[in-house]
Structure 1
Amino acid sequence: MRRLTLCALGVWLAFDQFALADSELETAVVEQRTVPREYRLDGIVEAVNRGTISAQTQGEVLEIFYDVDDFVEEGSLVIRLKDTAQRARVAQATAQLKAAAARLQQARDDHERISGLFAKKAVSRSAMDGAEAELKTAQANQESASSALDEAREQLAYTRIEAPYRGIVTERHVEVGEIVQPGTPLITGISLSELRVVIDVPQSVIAQVRALSEARVYVGDRAVEPEKITFSPVADAGSNTFMVRLDLPPISQPLFPGMFVKAGLIIGKNDALLVPKQAVVHRSEVTGVYSLRENGDIRFRHIRTGRELGDALVVLTGLAKDDRVALDPVAAGIRLHEQLEQARAAAGEGHDG
């Protein structure tokens, strides 16, 4: 007899092949395992990177390159402001820096010359002190001019508003021709590359959730484990719930901020019976499996299932530990029909005799 194994979230179900007349049916043994106990809540998807870009310099809006629902790459030019005044300040600051550099060079030359004369005692101490003071003043003026040029260049750079990350524009706050001041909102966007789920957890279970720090987010037919779980240290005064954030890894299913998803928080563990999903049959409102007895007889048994654990389902009622179920319901159904036909034929022959 050949033995196989099935893994479902760390839960192993024993498989074997069970002989039936001229054919074989692959079966699985229902096993009782310790599984995580979940507390399910609705969560809201939100973007980790979201925000509004505001103006950092004064100017007229010359061009707007993106509108609502447009996708923007990181570093792309989004809005351009008129930069005439900023360029003029850069030119002025550049000229002032050159003048300060010239004065500094002259002060150094004077300081070097007077230092030589002072060493020969050809000038007074006051003249030497004056040369040193002039040198320090020239050095300070050059540093001030250099800082002014850096500030002017920064103000010029602020006339080109670039996207801080890849994302989608959600709102535009200005129009071409408007005069904006520092702090004026320009454009709002979100990034879909980093998402998280926010849930409000009742205070009755927050202690267990914190202690285990395990969760799953159900996206479509997948259970996604978050990369990071963040707990709010205080409860909301109105609802007495704690905000919990679940940072999601990159996933293929389309998710957008504002969508509702189910989140399962692990609050403990309990024993449960597990059956492979492929063994379960759904007929209208009836859920069942084909179970096999030791003598090879097949029965269709109604069951009630719970949540999924990978490739397995939790069985609430209808099966017991060590029960054997067929993994191919179609083949098992055919075999059951054959058995019933054989039983009817045998009963008819007995009646005729």
Structure 2
Amino acid sequence: MVFPRVSMRHGAQMAVLSLAALLVACSRGGAANAPAAPPPAEVGVLTVKPRTVSLQNELPGRVSALLVAEVRPQVGGIVLTRDFREGSDVRKGQTLYQIDPAPFRAAFGSAQATLARAQANVVAAQAKSDRYKELVQIDAVSKQAADEAIAAALQAEADVAAAKAALETARINLAYTRITAPISGRIGKSSVTPGALVTANQAQALATVQQLDSIYVDVTQSSAELLRLRRELAAGRLKTDAANQASVKLKLDDGTLYPVSGKLQFSDVTVDEQTNSVTLRATFPNPKQLLLPGLYVRAVLEEGVRENAILVPQQAVARDNRGNAIAMVVGADGKVEQRAVQVPRSVGNEWLVDAGLKAGDQVVFEGLQKARPGAQVKAVERVPGAGASAPAVAASAPGAAASAATPAPAAASGT
């Protein structure tokens, strides 16, 4: 049997064709078996909607009494009795201490006798003066003697006036032995006990009475904050709320809110050189006397109203390597864009954004680890704080969600 002769060249061509066919078949099979590309990652977004918010400022402060009176003796002597209970409420004029009045009664009696003697001298001196006035007219006495009689009568009248003043002083000193409450309020601890020797106007107060029905709260605000507030008001970015601008709320040291609002009284006219701050004073009703002098509090003051304010959840804002605030925004093409933002302050659990965002922007606040700049994502509108299981609107196209966002003022939110 004769086989056809195949040239080496023809064999090589056949081998190449077979290899090509094999590669094509393999590539087709691989393409059919390759896994499909993963869908874009879902991220929770919030569509920016400007709204009106009431801005508040929380400042540290201390409580002080509306009226404070330190009780001191105005005469010296031995304390006989203490006529009050420490920590109780006292009325103005109520007896607090009794100093031994015996020496002051004696002084008062002596002053009365001195006045009586002076008044008797006036009668005699006046009678002599009247007689000498008649006698000098008939030259029965010299003019000098008459003048001396008149002067003696005037001196006797002056002695009466001095004796009356001395008697009044003695009466006042006797009254001062009964030490009374200068104001109504709550009295503190007594520094002396019966039997103690006290002196007039001594440095140490016997006790202190404080009026607590109404109370002062002194808070400090930095001069920089005050200047910023005035600039925002002047620029029109912040408007005062006439109904609430003088209203002040209190947070107590344990975090609870004081149930009664106070009123801002005044702002100091000078800046403290050491702390570079300004003191503000507010008054609060204190019917149950829950607020005590010296108590540390935080006062919440109404600064004003910001219209068209942009607020985003705090978790939507991060910091880059330089410490600048940034936010991730999903564009109309579904790609993530990094934005530099300005966040001067927080409002509750949100950031107030001054620059970097606008109405309709879709800001990522959930799934930030998936939202890398330039990454393709699927934006899902969610409610902050509701969790990933409670989407508000699934945005099939980021552009659609952006077009649906219209700037509409919302109810004012507080800090």
Aligned to 1:261: 297
Question: Per the alignment, do residues 214 and 322 of structure 1 end up closer, same or farther by CA in structure 2, a change over 3 Å counting?
Answer: closer
> What secondary structure sits across from 2:189 in the alignment?
strand
Give the CA deviation at 1:188. Answer: 1.8
**Normalising to structure 1: TM-score of the pair?**
0.63
Aligned to 2:206: 186
Equivalent runs, 1:127-146 vs 2, <5 Å: 127-146=145-164
Question: Per the alignment, do residues 85 and 234 of structure 1 end up closer, same or farther by CA in structure 2, a change over 3 Å counting?
Answer: farther
Aligned to 2:215: 195
* Superposed CA offset, 1:62-107 (max 9, x none): 1001232122122110111111000000000010011111111222
**Aligned partner of 1:243 among 247, 258, 279:** 279
- Output the amino acid matched with 1:255: L
- Output the amino acid matched with 1:70: S
1:79/1:162 contact within 8 Å kept: yes
Aligned to 1:271: 307
Question: Per the alignment, do residues 206 and 93 of structure 1 end up closer, same or farther by CA in structure 2, a change over 3 Å counting?
Answer: farther
Aligned to 2:63: 45
Equivalent runs, 1:204-353 vs 2, <5 Å: 204-207=224-227, 214-218=246-250, 220=257, 222=259, 224-226=261-263, 228-231=265-268, 233-237=270-274, 239-249=275-285, 254-271=290-307, 302=383, 321=408
Question: Per the alignment, do residues 202 and 100 of structure 1 end up closer, same or farther by CA in structure 2, a change over 3 Å counting?
Answer: same
Aligned to 1:6: none
Give the CA deviation at 1:45. Answer: 1.2
In our comparison, the structure showing a higher alpha carbon Rg is 2
**Aligned partner of 1:149 among 147, 151, 167:** 167
Question: Per the alignment, do residues 233 and 177 of structure 1 end up closer, same or farther by CA in structure 2, a change over 3 Å counting?
Answer: same
Instruction: Please say if 1:91 is aligned against 2:106.
Output: no
> What secondary structure sits across from 1:183 in the alignment?
coil
- Higher strand residue share: 1
Give the CA deviation at 1:43. Answer: 1.8
Instruction: Please say if 1:112 is aligned against 2:130.
Output: yes
Number of aligned positions between the proteins: 256
Question: Per the alignment, do residues 53 and 272 of structure 1 end up closer, same or farther by CA in structure 2, a change over 3 Å counting?
Answer: farther
> What secondary structure sits across from 1:165 in the alignment?
coil
Give the CA deviation at 1:258. Answer: 2.4
Give the CA deviation at 1:202. Answer: 0.9
* Superposed CA offset, 1:212-266 (max 9, x none): 88451337365624262241524041x2222222233565673222223332344
What RMSD, in angstroms, separates the aligned Cα atoms of the two structures? 3.5
1:170/1:189 contact within 8 Å kept: yes
2:73/2:199 contact within 8 Å kept: yes
- Which deviates more, 212-221 or 164-173? 212-221
Aligned to 2:83: 65
**Which stretches in structure 1 are left out of the alignment for 5+ residues?**
1-29, 274-285, 287-300, 305-317, 325-353
> What secondary structure sits across from 1:235 in the alignment?
coil
Q: Distance in 1 between matches of 2:78 and 2:271?
A: 45
**Which stretches in structure 2 are left out of the alignment for 5+ residues?**
1-48, 234-239, 252-256, 310-348, 350-381, 386-404
Question: Per the alignment, do residues 223 and 38 of structure 1 end up closer, same or farther by CA in structure 2, a change over 3 Å counting?
Answer: farther
> What secondary structure sits across from 2:148 in the alignment?
helix
1:201/1:242 contact within 8 Å kept: yes
- Output the amino acid matched with 1:143: A
Aligned to 2:394: none
> What secondary structure sits across from 1:204 in the alignment?
helix
Give the CA deviation at 1:203. Answer: 1.5
1:77/1:163 contact within 8 Å kept: yes
Question: Per the alignment, do residues 252 and 236 of structure 1 end up closer, same or farther by CA in structure 2, a change over 3 Å counting?
Answer: farther
1:60/1:179 contact within 8 Å kept: yes
Q: Distance in 2 between matches of 1:141 and 1:202?
A: 64
- Output the amino acid matched with 1:321: A
1:194/1:248 contact within 8 Å kept: yes
